[in-house]
Structure 1
Amino acid sequence: MNISEYTSDIARAVAFLSRIPVPSSFFEGYDGRLARVSRTFPLAGLLIALPAAIVFALLLAFQADPLMASLLALAVQTMTTGALHEDGLSDTADGVGGGKDRDRALTIMKDSRIGTYGAIALILSFGLRAAALAAIASYLAPFAAALALLAAAVLSRGAMVWHWYVLPAAKPDGVAASAGKPDYGAMQMALITALVLSAFLLWPSLRLPGFILCLFVTAAAAFLFTRRIRQRLSGHTGDTVGATQQICEIAVLCTLAMCV
């Protein structure tokens, strides 16, 4: 593996998945495609979630209310990502929930306005993640609770790449199709990276059965959601990739809240 190329791919992934400024030197000669860059999504996710994890740990260390600390950490995370994945979740919920057929669902997802299904999905996403983080913070030390937030960021972004890999593009002329698609090697590296990083982050506070359960629930959530998208849309879009991240982050945090 070329270390220079891998480092550049991490920087490009951070730029794509967040609003964190990245030096322009990393984009010299870059064609904008994400097929190879996607292999670094889990590591980029860890870096992107780091500011939120630091805020979370500091607030808890100063005896802040766990729920308040959780909501503030999610606010920081949302500002860092520019609500990229939340937007995908709301659009997917509106399209899949409100579209009578595939074409209508895709049309709804392209509409920038938010509907009832999208609003409910966002409320549940923030509510479930905040409640889970608060529960985790009630049982773990501040530093360990912050590591759980990072682990959720890592695993959920690995799941994104898998969802993206296993489904064809729903629209051949869509934005997701133009960005390229991970090949088997990129997908495999993303999953291995997610597994290794999450094990390192969770090992101090979670025993092996709990870690395996966390992986199982996350994989099940990704599989079931991907199967539903295959049935309804016959392929992925940028919105469904983002929705995968949100659903799997919820799965990770809720499972951790029950296992710690």
Structure 2
Amino acid sequence: MRRLVLAMQLMTCLPLPPVKADEGDFAAAIRWFPATGMVVGACVAGGLMLGGRVDPWAGALLALLVWVAMTGALHIDGLADIADAVGAAHGDRTKLSLVLADPHVGSFGVTAVALQLLTKLVLLRLCAELVPAWWLIGVAMAARMGPLFWSRWLPPLHEGLASRFRDGVRPAHLLGWSAVAMLFAWWMPGLLIVAALIPAWAMWLRARIGGISGDGHGAGIEIVESALLAALVLTS
């Protein structure tokens, strides 16, 4: 339970009590990232249904606001940083590292965030009409399986919390959460595309960035979420 609370504190803005934890607990918290996604997805689904009582667009907007608020825009910030780094570095790894370390957001990052929010808003509007709201639980859960795989597959870009996650993931955790995703896919077959999305992001990061960091995890979660929403809409 302690590690689940740590995962919730790392991945959401929910007011949770402080817990005593050591380095091993922080590393192992990644095992519970998909569970935090289920909580986020349930709240987003609630926003979609509640706003949908007024209008489908109101439901989509409320769901998006809940999505951003619950995560504290953490993953969107990662997307902005990755976009800025790739856009400004032009293949120069040294410059890329410098841009990733810069706390300011540039034009590439602003553009990426704007497009991401618009994409999610439109897809949530379509979901309000075409799919059951509870499917969003599966979307948020499956997207947060990504960090477990990326931590195992990719070298860390630098020392930090993200670099310690690798020690917290075992093959059993990958298989267990994959089984949960398969269970969701029984009702929502479009979710199966996550099996291609997660390795695709890993390959892109290895080729363009050289490894994984907190920004890479956040950006990957955002991109996988949007792609899964699109897959659900297209297969509904």
Q: Is the CA contact (8 Å cut-off) linking 1:165 and 1:183 kept in structure 2?
A: no
Q: Distance in 1 between matches of 2:32 and 2:174?
A: 6
| Sequence identity (%) | 29
Distance apart, 1:191 and its partner CA: 5.3
Q: Distance in 2 between matches of 1:244 and 1:191?
A: 20
Q: Distance in 2 between matches of 1:243 and 1:225?
A: 9
Aligned to 2:61, which of 64, 71, 79?
71
* TM-score for the superposition, normalised by structure 1: 0.82
Distance apart, 1:197 and its partner CA: 5.2
Distance apart, 1:182 and its partner CA: 4.2
1:41 and 2:33 matched: yes
1:137 and 2:128 matched: yes
Structure 2 counterparts to residues 188-207 of structure 1, below 5 A: 188-190=172-174, 192-193=176-177, 195-196=179-180, 199-200=183-184, 203-204=186-187, 206=188
Count of residues in Structure 1 that have an aligned counterpart in Structure 2: 235
5+ residue gaps, structure 2: none
Q: Is the CA contact (8 Å cut-off) linking 1:94 and 1:117 kept in structure 2?
A: yes
Provide the residue aligned with 2:206 in structure 1: 230
Distance apart, 1:174 and its partner CA: 4.1
Q: Distance in 2 between matches of 1:197 and 1:220?
A: 13
Provide the residue aligned with 1:14 in structure 2: 8
Q: Distance in 1 between matches of 2:45 and 2:175?
A: 22
Q: Distance in 2 between matches of 1:182 and 1:253?
A: 31
5+ residue gaps, structure 1: 1-6
1:214 and 2:191 matched: yes
Q: Distance in 1 between matches of 2:21 and 2:39?
A: 24
Provide the residue aligned with 1:80 in structure 2: 70
Deviations 1:110-162 (A, max 9, x none): 1111112211211221112221121121123xxx22x1221111000001221
Structure 2 counterparts to residues 85-164 of structure 1, below 5 A: 85-100=75-90, 101-140=92-131, 144-145=132-133, 147-164=134-151
SS in 2 for 1:73: helix
Q: Is the CA contact (8 Å cut-off) linking 1:154 and 1:198 kept in structure 2?
A: no
Provide the residue aligned with 1:176 in structure 2: 162
Q: Distance in 2 between matches of 1:183 and 1:37?
A: 7
Q: Distance in 1 between matches of 2:39 and 2:230?
A: 22
SS in 1 for 2:144: helix
Name the amino acid aligned to 1:77: W
* Runs (4+) off by over 6 Å: none
Distance apart, 1:51 and its partner CA: 2.3
Q: Is the CA contact (8 Å cut-off) linking 2:79 and 2:113 kept in structure 1?
A: yes
Q: Is the CA contact (8 Å cut-off) linking 1:92 and 1:239 kept in structure 2?
A: yes
Mark the CA change 1:191 to 1:158 in structure 2 (over 3 Å): closer, same or farther: farther
Distance apart, 1:222 and its partner CA: 2.3
1:28 and 2:20 matched: yes
Q: Distance in 2 between matches of 1:215 and 1:197?
A: 8
